[in-house]
Amino acid sequence: MRRQRTTAVKKNDGNSGWSGQAGGIGGLRRIWRAGVYSRDGLIAAFRHEAAFRQELLLIIPLLPLALWLPASGPGKALMLASLLLVLIVELLNSAIEAVVDRISTERHPLAKRAKDLGSAAVLIALLNVPVVWLLVLFG
């Protein structure tokens, strides 16, 4: 049974799932755990974030299209990176929203600002996709 990560900083005995201190478990075990936590994050995003699912539905057909279109290798890489950037920024935005909601469900100007800034970052990432694609395909 996998230990749950805690949110408090505690002494790192090498057996905890997460520690706020530097050091701790190393090598392959640390890499394995990081992979498990990343998988958990992707699953949580898919299950609980409608925007992530919508962006994924938009991006899935565009990934093979980016490889099929007549562009140079670096151009294709830029097109793919622009798509993946949307998902990365959406994951970060979802994390910001989750932390803000965890701290308080009360309306507060700073909470609104944090959520609005995250949303603006997603918008910029989305607007970046057609700009990159058009520049790669039509110079």
Residue 95 marked as a ligand binder: no
Residue 48 marked as a ligand binder: no
Residue 51 marked as a ligand binder: yes
Pair of tokens at residue 22:
């530097």
C-alpha span between 124 and 104 (Å, rounded) = 27
Query: Any idea which residues carry the catalytic annotation?
Result: 90
Residue 37 marked as a ligand binder: yes
Residue 4 marked as a ligand binder: no
At residue 61, what is the residue type?
A: P
Residue 115 marked as a ligand binder: yes
**Secondary structure class of 127 (helix, strand, coil):** helix
Residue 53 marked as a ligand binder: yes
CB 69 within 8 A of CB 137: yes
Question: What does each C-alpha distance from 35 to 19, 38, 77, 84, 136 come to in angstroms?
Answer: 16, 5, 24, 18, 33
Residues making up the binding site for a divalent metal cation: 49, 97
Residues making up the binding site for substrate: 30, 51-55, 90, 119
Residues making up the binding site for ATP: 30, 37, 49, 97, 106-108, 115-116
Residues making up the binding site: 30, 37, 49, 51-55, 90, 97, 106-108, 115-116, 119
